[in-house]
Amino acid sequence: MRTVDIRVPATSANLGPGFDALGLALSLYDEVEAGLTGERGVEVSVSGEGAGEVDRGERHLVVRAMREAFGRMGVAQPAGIRLRCRNRIPHARGLGSSSAAVCAGLLAARALAGVEWPDDEVFALATEMEGHPDNVAPCLAGGLTVAWSDHAGAPHMVKLAPDQRVRPVVLIPSARLATETARGLLPKDVPHKDASFNAGRAALLIAALTQRPETGLLLAATEDRLHQHYRAPAMPQSAALVERLRAVGVPAVVSGAGPTVLAFSTSDTQDLIAPEVGNDWHIQQMDVDPVGANVQFPETR
């Protein structure tokens, strides 16, 4: 049985003002060993996050992504699929666990099929399955990404390299929040002044993360008026923590749809984070993952 190993990073989307556009790849990974068998059926083993909770058959998200990829490539569906999943990305916490699973499945299928399938088509299908490109872009490409869709609905991205001094810290609660629930709290329209405010802050955030990751700039650049306060009732502890951190000068935002909080640690703020967090949160210092999803065949490692 030929197998392929896929490693996919956690991601944080929005980063405050960059709603549905900005994403950051983080040094926390799910690993998937995928193989095709001659025996009919699906065999899935899962360890780590989600073990005992996720489907172990055709409804497993990596399997679904592989099936979609085979169909899109015009390749016959294999008789059997075998997966070994080692999950480290928390589920339903705003760290891109579903995007990681989708990307892992698409890349595994492409590698095992052995056909030419362009990266932009992988990105397009990943976006289609996820519904938006802000997490799948950094998961596939790594680094800091700006993603958007054109008038025809096709997704695009630009990858940027954050300054090496950018140090993300994730503050993960035990509670979960479904992305659909968080999105359901957003209004259909927002005031023009709030949209203008966020446009300026998102532009400033790109400059701060790539050129001048100074505490003052990052604090101003991570301000948001489009989504976080609308979602606060669904995650009051996260909203309160963001407020506490920002009050003492720490650039902090809700990661993706939440409820994880993302903070940027600088020389001025690294000692200010822990005292504001409390015992209900898991604090994890991370690096920015520079390369995104990684594909290897065992014999080439």
- Is residue 281 helix, strand or coil? strand
Q: Of 68, 153, 146, whose CA–CA distance to 113 is shortest?
A: 68
**Residue 291 in contact with residue 159, Cβ under 8 Å?**
no
Write out the H or E segment, with its range, that includes residue 10: strand 3-13
Contact by Cβ (8 Å): 143, 162:
yes
Q: Are 211 and 231 in contact (CB under 8 A)?
A: no
The annotation status of 95 as a binding-site residue, yes or no, is yes
- Annotated binding-site residue? 171: no
Report the SS3 class of residue 136: helix
Known binding residue 91? Answer is yes
**260 and 107 Cβ atoms separated by less than 8 Å:** no
d(CA 229, CA 232): 5
Q: Is 94 annotated as a binding residue?
A: yes
**Structure-token match 């099929």, residue found:** 113
90 is in an annotated binding site: yes
**Annotated binding residue at 27?**
no
97 is in an annotated binding site: yes
The alpha carbon dihedral of 231, 138, 26, 106 has a sign of: positive
**Does the annotation place 113 within a ligand binding site?**
no
- 265 annotated ligand-binding residue: no
Q: Are 205 and 217 in contact (CB under 8 A)?
A: no
Annotated binding site for ATP: 90-100
Annotated binding site: 90-100
